[in-house]
């Protein structure tokens, strides 16, 4: 599979933006667990945010592969900054696919224009992989939704203007998968509280929060899609966003490979540079081959989404494999840096910490394997 000329241009432009706008400040953001939102605004002005949002909703009408190509390039330079910029539309995929025209017209354009940030609260303190087991409740009272519950590990929780919240709206439904709905909540509503989580292992430039919702009100029309269809909408949502996470894994692995190559070319040992040793070249070959394979897989998986027939098994393969690749490659890259990697080389240390998240969020690697296995057995 080959990228189109336009896609190659998007990739190159994203690379230049990341190198010019956040490469030099990545260490500072990681140390401070903060990000400079003027960089996000600039990314919006340059057309990198919400590329998949349709033109009539203020977006660029591009595909999910295009969005993933930008993620790969941003993560190649710095995963935390890449996440801080591109996660600002997280949840809009569901609004675009299932929301009313009013919701789309009202909430999507500001995300592309750099005027609003959103997030999506699915995970709870007692329900992560088991998304259907969430407890946050939304009840209809006096012509409004009244929401009570808590959400855990929510990206942009402290920054978001709006949070899409997965709630139980039909607790008595005999099917556990027909009890949920996604409701868009204004974070300025009384009863909404976000508490920043400090001390994450990686992607520390990205905001993560715990959310408490106590009698938070939302208009009835803020329910996205059909009542009781939230779980199925979530599966559609993940088919789109998991490609994006796969691209993140390829990006962090590519960045680590490049750091390792630069290091072994300058490090002296045994009368020359490390790069002259065949044992070292073998490691570089293994890293590069895994990255190319992971890249090809996520391109193919994203292509199934863009042509309108998402292949959930292929998408889960792309995500699981990219996470596995990322973790293996950063480990090898740090090893190639030797003691300097462990002690002094901040960039490779940061990549080592950042890569692990690809195996955890939006479906852990075990969840991805469960999807692949059950899907293939169903088809057989």
Ligand X SMILES: Cc1cc2nc3c(=O)[nH]c(=O)nc-3n(C[C@H](O)[C@H](O)[C@H](O)COP(=O)(O)OP(=O)(O)OC[C@H]3O[C@@H](n4cnc5c(N)ncnc54)[C@H](O)[C@@H]3O)c2cc1C
Residues engaged in binding ligand X (CB under 6 A): 90, 119-123, 128-129, 153-155, 200, 203, 208, 357, 360-362, 364, 366-367, 370
Nearer CB in complex with ligand X: 323/341:
323
N- to C-terminal Cα distance for the chain? 26
Nearer to ligand X, 164 or 329 (CB): 164
Closest separation between CB of residue 368 and ligand X, Å? 9
CB of 272 to ligand X, least distance (A): 42
The least CB distance from residue 364 to ligand X, in Å, is 3
Q: What angle do CA 88, 91, 94 make, to 5 degrees?
A: 145
Torsions phi, psi for 299 (to 5 deg): -60, -45
| DSSP character string of 17-55 | HHHHHTTTTHHHHHHHT---HHHHHHHHHTT-SSTTS-G
Q: How far is the CB of 366 from ligand X (least distance, A)?
A: 3
Task: Compare residues 120 and 231 and give the one whose CB is closer to ligand X.
Answer: 120
What's the closest the beta carbon of residue 130 comes to ligand X, in angstroms? 6
Q: Which residues are marked as active site?
A: 362
CA distance linking residue 101 with residue 324, whole number of Å? 39
Least distance (Å) between residue 194 CB and ligand X: 12
Tell me if 25 sits within 8 A of 38, measured CB to CB: no
Q: Which is nearer to ligand X, 72 or 124 (CB)?
A: 124
**What is the rounded distance in angstroms from the CA atom of residue 176 to the CA atom of residue 157?**
27
Give one DSSP letter per residue of 285-326, joined into a string.
HHHHHHHHHHHHHHHHHHHHHHTT---HHHHHHHHHHHHHHH
**Closest chain position to ligand X (CB):** 128
What is the rounded CA–CA span in Å between residue 232 and residue 237?
9
Tell me how far apart the alpha carbons of residues 2 and 246 are, in angstroms, rounded to a whole number.
18
- Phi, psi angles (nearest 5°) of residue 184: -85, 125
Of the two residues 229 and 353, which places its CB atom closer to ligand X in the complex? 353
Tokens 């929060």 map to which residue?
209
Integer Cα distance of 165 and 134 in angstroms:
11
Helices 278-306/230-266 angle, 10° precision = 150
Residue with Cβ nearer ligand X (69 or 131): 131
């Amino acid at each position: 599979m080959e990228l189109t000329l336009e896609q190659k241009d998007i990739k190159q432009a994203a690379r230049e933006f990341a190198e010019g706008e956040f490469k030099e400040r990545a260490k500072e953001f990681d140390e401070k667990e903060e990000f400079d939102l003027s960089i996000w605004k600039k990314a919006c002005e340059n057309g990198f945010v919400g590329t998949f949002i349709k033109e009539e909703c203020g977006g660029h009408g591009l595909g999910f592969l295009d969005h993933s190509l930008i993620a790969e390039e941003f993560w190649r330079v710095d995963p935390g900054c890449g996440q801080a910029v591109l996660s600002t539309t997280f949840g809009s995929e569901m609004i675009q696919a299932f929301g009313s025209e009013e919701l789309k017209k009202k909430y999507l354009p500001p995300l592309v224009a750099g005027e609003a940030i959103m997030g999506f609260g699915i995970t709870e303190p007692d329900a992560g992989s088991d998304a259907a087991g969430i407890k946050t409740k939304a009840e209809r009272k006096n012509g409004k939704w009244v929401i009570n519950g808590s959400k855990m590990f929510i990206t942009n929780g402290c920054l978001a203007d709006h949070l899409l919240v997965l709630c139980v709206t039909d607790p008595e439904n005999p099917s556990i998968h027909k009890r949920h709905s996604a409701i868009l909540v204004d974070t300025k509503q009384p009863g909404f509280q976000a508490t920043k989580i400090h001390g994450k292992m990686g992607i520390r430039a990205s905001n993560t929060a715990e959310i408490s919702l106590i009698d938070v009100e939302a208009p009835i029309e803020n329910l996205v899609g059909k009542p009781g269809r939230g779980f199925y909408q979530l599966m559609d949502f993940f088919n789109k966003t998991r490609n994006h996470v796969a691209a993140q894994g390829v990006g962090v692995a590519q960045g680590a490979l490049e750091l390792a190559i630069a290091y072994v070319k300058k490090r002296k040992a045994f009368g020359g540079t490390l790069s002259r040793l065949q044992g070292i070249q073998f490691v570089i070959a293994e890293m590069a081959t895994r990255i190319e394979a992971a890249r090809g897989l996520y391109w193919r998986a994203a292509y199934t989404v863009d042509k309108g027939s998402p292949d959930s098994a292929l998408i889960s393969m792309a995500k699981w494999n990219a996470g596995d690749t990322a973790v293996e490659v950063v480990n090898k890259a740090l090893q190639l840096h030797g003691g300097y990697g462990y002690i002094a080389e901040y960039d490779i240390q940061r990549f080592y910490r950042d890569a692990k998240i690809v195996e955890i969020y939006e479906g852990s690697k075990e969840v991805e394997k469960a999807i692949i296995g059950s899907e293939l057995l169903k088809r057989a």
